[in-house]
């Protein structure tokens, strides 16, 4: 079993702190959903775990097993077993999907070993078929001229080919029609194994109808404020996040009150006074 | 050296010509000259050690495919004239390389009625160089597609001048330049298109793209269109920049090291030209030479 451990993670973009102390432990064999309103830091968390150049970790720790992720470059993290399916996958002009994936697989092999071409072609064709993608997809340039849905499927294609230990799926459901959503969801679910763990970031419960998640985390204000099981998905679908925002505010107030007590050795103020 | 290059480039029973300073010194068949009167697919290797002028003539209705290597180890001036007669069709790919100090090259192409030239070049000079390409669209319906890859990675200055003369009606030119610079090099691309008065229905399109691989190299793209007729299509554009960090991050997030990711992006940048070169020894030679220069 492998473990991805995030402790008190703080991360900033352009000196603005977005993540304000995220704690999360994911083991292989587990599927975790992270849900939350817009602008709460879900994509920042995904990018920070992967090592996106735009984010600066200001505090906290991240470990993959016993190795410190913060000491690794983006490519080292990927080769160690992390994969980020991006919300807005980038176009790479002039580079075919097939060459790109082959190069990425080659990067994981020890020096002197090479990708077995026939096995690679067979695996790629099967993955394309599983995702019901156009057979010419391997020969097209990476994400160039792709529709939103094609880009998302292409991320899952890479995921299936690279077989990481942990995948972070950042709003992989956005831009997908109902059929594509089902295909993507089923493909992710089919990857469930003792050697694979996933963090699925989503706004909607629909994707989670196809993926059997073990834990659901709610992120608000740059922190995970609530963790539960699958039952949370239904509650969020029916009630939104307002009940949690209220709880979060109450918790903040409680925290302030505690600070007052500790700071003065006596209760001087009432809440709201 | 020529023998080594011949082994690296020529495969099986291919048609080939090997020339030294414009003189044929080896060929696959005694009939082969630089006057092409029948359909042909061939490779041409030029070694240039002194100032030289070379003429290719493609006769009427001939379909010709040339894969060419021109190299020079000394400071020289080279002139290459390519003449396409009426309805001639020429697919021309050229790898030019030099490790001399100063190179001057002039390529003049003349296109007659309904002639078509598909012109692709990859330029990898280790020298200061001035390259001038002139395209004369002399007769009606002449068409030229031009793709130049210009790689400058030896801290030198390269001037690349492309002049396209539309001298008749319904002539069409499409120009794409792909410039790559590193190691404090300078690349200047002057692309000039002229449509003469009375040349209605002429079309001229020009674009230059530049990739800067370090902070101290420069690319200057200077497009210029001179249009003396109303009923024409004419446009030009240029974009120059460093490697996009988002692209780099995307590739690295899949496990590619920074070096490999940069190489993949650069190869992708010039792939619109490389993809047009048929797979085989010539393509392998080009790719290995480019990778050595980037």
Which CATH number characterizes residue A171's domain?
Answer: 3.40.50.300
Q: What does chain B look like in DSSP terms, one character per residue? A: -HHHHHHHH--TT-EEEEEETTEEEEESSTT--SEE-S-EEEEEEEEE-S-EEEEEEE-TT-EEEEEEEEEESS-EEEEEEEEE-TT-EEEEEEEEEE-SSEEEEEEEEEE-TT-EEEEEEEEEESSEEEEEEEEEE-STT-EEEEEEEEEE-SS-EEEEEEEEEE-STT-EEEEEEEEEE-SS-EEEEEEEEEE-TT-TT-EEEEEEEEEE-STT-EEEEEEEEEE--SS-EEEEEEEEEE--HHHHHHHHTTT--HHHHHHHHHHHHHHHHHTTSPTTHHHHHHHHHHHHH-
Nearest to B255 among A52, A89, A108 (CB): A108
Nearest residue on chain B to A90, alpha-carbon basis = B247
* Distance from C-alpha of B68 to C-alpha of B16, rounded to nearest angstrom: 10
State the nearest Cα–Cα gap between B105 and chain A, in angstroms: 29
Chain B residues 218-257 within an 8 A CB cutoff of chain A: 244-247, 249-257
Considering only alpha carbons, which residue of chain A is nearest residue B264?
A95
Inter-chain touch B253–A89, beta carbons under 8 Å: no
Distance from CA of A8 to the nearest CA of B (A): 23
CB contacts < 8 A, A to B, total 76
pLDDT tens digit string along A257-272?
A: 444 444 333 433 444 3
Q: Is residue A145 part of a domain?
A: no
- B254 closest CB neighbour out of A51, A53, A78: A78
Structure tokens at A104: 């990425």
The domain tally of chain A equals 2
pLDDT at site A267: 39
- The mean pLDDT of B262-284, rounded to a whole number, is 89
According to the model, what pLDDT value does residue B275 have?
Answer: 86
pLDDT at B219: 96
**Residue A232 maps to a domain:** yes
Chain B nearest CA to A97, separation (Å): 11
Residues B32 and B66: beta-carbon distance below 8 Å: no
Give the structural domain span for A249.
241-273
Q: Are A100 and B250 within 8 A, CB to CB?
A: no
A148 within some domain: no
Tens digit of each residue's pLDDT (9 = 90 or more) over B180-196: 999 999 999 999 999 99
Query: Under an 8 A CB cutoff, do B254 and A104 touch?
Result: yes
- Phi then psi for residue B76, to 5 deg, are -145, 165
A10 and A78 assigned to the same domain: yes
Question: pLDDT for B90-101, tens place per residue?
Answer: 999 999 988 787
Q: CB B252 to CB A78 under 8 A?
A: yes
Nearest to B253 among A84, A99, A141 (CB): A84
> Region B218-247: what's the mean pLDDT?
94
A248 part of a folded domain: yes
State whether A200 and A218 are in the same domain: yes
- The shortest CB-CB distance from A92 to any of B245, B268, B275 is to B268
- Same domain as A251, residue A218: no
Query: Within a domain: residue A182?
Result: yes
**Judgement on whether residues A233 and A257 belong to the same structural domain of the protein:** no
B251 → closest Cβ in A53, A79, A92? A92
- Nearest CB partner across the interface for A75, out of B246, B247, B258: B258
Residues A46 and A85 in one domain: yes
Q: Which of B245, B256, B269 sits opposite A93 (nearest CB)?
A: B269
CA-nearest residue to B258 within chain A is: A75
Residue A79 domain flag:
yes
A168 lies in the same domain as A88: yes
Q: Are residues A29 and A69 in the same domain?
A: yes
Q: Say whether pLDDT at B38 is over 70.
A: yes
Co-location of A231 and A249 in the same domain: no
Which of B178, B249, B254 to mutate against chain A (most A CBs within 10 Å)? B254
Residue of B nearest to A51 (CA): B253
Asked if residue A22 and residue A79 are part of one domain, the reply reads yes
Q: Which residues of chain B make contact with A50, given a CB cutoff of 8 A?
A: 253
Residue window 268-287, chain B: list those with CB within 8 Å of chain A. Answer: 268-272, 275
The per-residue pLDDT for range B173-182, each reduced to its tens digit, is 999 999 999 9
* Among candidates A79, A89, A99 on the partner chain, residue whose Cβ is nearest the Cβ of B255: A79
pLDDT confidence of residue A266: 40
Q: Enumerate the residues of chain B whose CB falls inside 8 A of the CB of residue A162.
A: 254-255
Q: Considering only A160-169, A241-250, B30-39, B151-160, which range has the smallest mean pLDDT?
A: A241-250
Rounded to whole angstroms, the Cα distance separating A70 from A170 reads 20
- Mean pLDDT, chain B, whole residue set: 94
Contact B256 A89 (CB under 8 A): no
* pLDDT grade for B127, boundaries at 50, 70 and 90: confident
Cβ–Cβ below 8 Å for A75 and B272: no
**Segments of chain A with pLDDT less than 50:** 255-273
* Range of weakest confidence among A17-26, B107-116, B268-277: B268-277
Do the chains contact at B249 and A74, CB–CB below 8 Å?
A: yes
Reported as a pLDDT band with limits 50, 70 and 90, residue B27 is very high
Query: Do A33 and A57 fall into the same domain?
Result: yes
Per-residue pLDDT, A169 = 95
Q: How many CB atoms lie within 10 A of CB B256?
A: 25
Strand partners, B132: B106, B161
Give this prediction's pTM.
Answer: 0.83
| Judgement on whether residues A52 and A82 belong to the same structural domain of the protein | yes
């Amino acid at each position: 079993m492998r473990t991805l451990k995030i402790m008190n993670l703080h991360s900033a973009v352009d000196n603005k702190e977005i993540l304000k102390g995220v704690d999360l432990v994911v083991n292989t064999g587990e599927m975790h959903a992270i849900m939350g309103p817009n602008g709460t830091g879900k994509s920042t968390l995904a990018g920070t775990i992967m090592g996106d150049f735009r984010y600066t970790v200001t505090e906290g720790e991240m470990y993959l097993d016993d190795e410190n992720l913060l000491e690794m470059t983006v490519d080292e993290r990927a080769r160690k077993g992390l994969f980020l399916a991006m919300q807005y996958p980038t176009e790479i002009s002039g580079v075919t999907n097939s060459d790109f994936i082959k190069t990425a697989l080659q990067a994981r092999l020890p020096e002197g070993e090479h990708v077995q071409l026939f096995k690679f072609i067979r695996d790629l064709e099967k993955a394309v078929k599983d995702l019901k993608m156009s057979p010419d997809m391997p020969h097209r340039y990476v994400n160039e001229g792709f529709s939103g849905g094609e880009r998302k499927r292409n991320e899952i294609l890479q995921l299936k080919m690279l077989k990481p230990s942990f995948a972070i799926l950042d709003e992989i459901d956005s831009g997908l029609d109902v059929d594509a959503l089902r295909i993507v969801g089923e493909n992710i679910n089919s990857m469930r194994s003792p050697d694979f763990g996933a963090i699925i970031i989503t706004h909607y419960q629909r994707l989670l109808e196809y993926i059997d998640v073990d834990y659901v985390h709610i992120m608000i204000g740059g922190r995970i404020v609530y963790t539960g099981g699958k039952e949370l998905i239904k509650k969020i679908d029916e009630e939104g996040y307002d009940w949690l925002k209220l709880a979060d505010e109450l918790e903040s107030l409680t925290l302030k009150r505690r600070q007052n007590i500790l700071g003065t050795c006596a209760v001087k103020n009432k809440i709201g006074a | 050296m020529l023998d080594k290059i011949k082994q690296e480039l020529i495969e099986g029973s291919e048609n080939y010509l090997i020339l030294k300073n414009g003189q044929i010194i080896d060929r696959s068949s005694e009939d082969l000259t630089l006057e092409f009167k029948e359909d042909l697919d061939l490779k041409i290797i030029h070694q240039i050690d002194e100032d030289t002028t070379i003429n290719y003539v493609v006769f009427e209705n001939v379909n010709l495919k040339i894969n060419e290597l021109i190299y020079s180890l000394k400071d020289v001036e080279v002139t290459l004239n390519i003449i396409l007669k009426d309805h001639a069709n020429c697919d021309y790919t050229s790898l030019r390389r030099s490790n001399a100090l100063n190179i001057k090259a002039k390529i003049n192409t003349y296109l007659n009625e309904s002639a078509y030239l598909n012109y692709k070049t990859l330029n990898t000079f280790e020298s200061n160089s001035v390259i001038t390409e002139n395209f004369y669209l002399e007769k009606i319906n002449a068409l030229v597609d031009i793709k130049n890859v210009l790689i400058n990675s030896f801290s030198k200055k390269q001037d690349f001048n492309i002049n396209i003369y539309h001298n008749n009606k319904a002539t069409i030119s499409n120009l794409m330049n792909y410039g790559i610079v590193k190691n404090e090099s300078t690349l200047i691309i002057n692309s000039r298109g002229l449509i003469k008065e009375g040349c209605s229905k002429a079309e001229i399109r020009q674009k230059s793209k530049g990739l800067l691989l370090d902070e101290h190299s420069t690319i200057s793209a200077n497009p210029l269109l001179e249009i003396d007729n109303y009923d024409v299509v004419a446009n030009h554009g240029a974009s120059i920049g460093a490697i996009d960090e988002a692209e780099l991050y995307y590739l690295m997030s899949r496990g590619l090291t920074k070096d490999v990711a940069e190489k993949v992006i650069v190869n992708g940048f010039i792939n619109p030209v490389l993809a047009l070169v048929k797979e085989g020894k010539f393509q392998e030679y080009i790719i290995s030479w480019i990778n050595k220069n980037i």
